[in-house]
Amino acid sequence: MAEASKGMDGAEKAAIFLMVIGEASAAEVMKHLGPREVQKIGVAMSGLEVVSPSNVKTSVDEFIQSVREHTGIGIGNEDFIRNVLTNALGEDKATSMIDRILLGGNTKGLEALKWMDARAIVELIRFEHPQIIAIVLSFLDSDQSAEVLSLLPENTRADLLMRIATMEGIQPAAMKELNEMLEQQLRGGAGGQQSSMGGIKCAAEILNFIDRSVEAKISERITELDADLAERIQDLMFTFENLVDIDDRGVQALLREVSTDNLVLALKGTDEAIKDKIFNNMSQRAAEMLRDDLDAKGPVKLSEVEGAQKEILTIARRLADEGTISLGGGGGGEQMI
């Protein structure tokens, strides 16, 4: 793009801010980011050729405001961390974050997987016991887990999702043993509260990121084996069609984070209810411009549309985790549309 658009998403704002603070400071910040965040910000940086002063000011001002809202005295006490995060985010949202924080440096082997290509992860775990594979998939980010699951043998996918969905947690001793095993493999060569990995929500989020044709087969197989479990997983899935269930303020907050190009691509081939939901939460001029862009857009691959929709769903889930919006539930050669 020639200039950063006024409707910047979070990655673009972060990219502008890091470019403003200089290479050394930006490098220090990037050390503390995960692989997905580094990739998104890197892509955003590469696309920013000219940045207007107003966009620089917006990015810096938002950072300063965020610091004012969140900076406080850090106290390294486990109970304090649990209480603060639970009060701030609620028990469900806080649990996973608490586990990651308190596990800290004890997951170097597992954390290393997040930086690996999906095929490399498959080569590393494919001969392990299915329960070990399920734990690894539970630990990875949902989109990465979906990619790994898609590369595993088809006849194992439903079983793995069922193991994830019925997983009630993993003891720290078992996590430590798994982590050490992975560290050893990557080098080439008890007690306490259990970590709440896995669960129906985790299985649903992984299915959300899998290609629809693959997701349909897995869901069908799980239904055959355990119809009740399949229904509970479907109830927690959130698809692009479920955007109509978000209230108007939530849709407006989401649109502020989504680029126009991605939105146009994601709306190709969707039903009128979703388009109307989007149009009704934009200014009249913006809605007219979006309609014109949609009309002018030629045929695109279904995979490209689904990719754009997944990116928007990722933003929606992040905003939901932050408490900005509330998501509704719902189940739910290349084709050209």
Residue 247 has pLDDT above 60, yes or no: yes
Residue 265 has pLDDT above 70, yes or no: yes
> What's the confidence (pLDDT) of residue 79?
60
> What's the confidence (pLDDT) of residue 211?
78
> What's the confidence (pLDDT) of residue 104?
44
More confident residue, 108 or 306: 306
d(CA 110, CA 280): 44
> What's the confidence (pLDDT) of residue 252?
92
3-state DSSP call for residue 134?
Answer: helix
Instruction: Dump pLDDT digits (tens) for 99-110.
Output: 555 444 444 667
Phi first, then psi: what are they for 249, rounded to 5°?
Answer: -65, -35
R_g (Cα) of the chain, nearest Å:
21
pTM of the model: 0.45
> What's the confidence (pLDDT) of residue 193?
43
Q: Delineate the domains of the chain, giving CATH numbers in brackets.
A: 10-70 (no CATH), 78-236 (1.10.220.30), 240-321 (1.10.220.30)
CB 192 within 8 A of CB 227: no
More confident residue, 218 or 327: 218
> What's the confidence (pLDDT) of residue 280?
92
Output b/e per residue, 266-297; b: 16+ Cβ within 10 A.
bbbebeeebbebbbebbeeeebeebeeeeeee
- Mean pLDDT within 128-132: 88
> What's the confidence (pLDDT) of residue 67?
57
More confident residue, 115 or 156: 156
Pick the most confident of 12-21, 88-97, 120-129, 325-334: 120-129
242 pLDDT tier (thresholds 50, 70, 90): confident
Residue 307 has pLDDT above 90, yes or no: no
Q: Which of 2-6, 242-246, 257-261 has the lowest mean pLDDT?
A: 2-6
Q: Is 318 exposed, middle or buried (0-12, 13-18, 19+ CB in 10 A)?
A: middle
- Mean pLDDT within 242-266: 89
Concatenate the DSSP letters of all residues of 81-126 into one string: HHHHHHHHH-HHHHHHHHHHHHHGGGGHHHHHHTTS-HHHHHHHHT
Residue 180 has pLDDT above 50, yes or no: yes
Percent of the chain scoring above 70 in pLDDT:
76
Q: Which of 126-140, 187-201, 202-216 has the lowest mean pLDDT?
A: 187-201
Residue 143 has pLDDT above 90, yes or no: no
> What's the confidence (pLDDT) of residue 49?
67
- Mean pLDDT within 263-277: 88
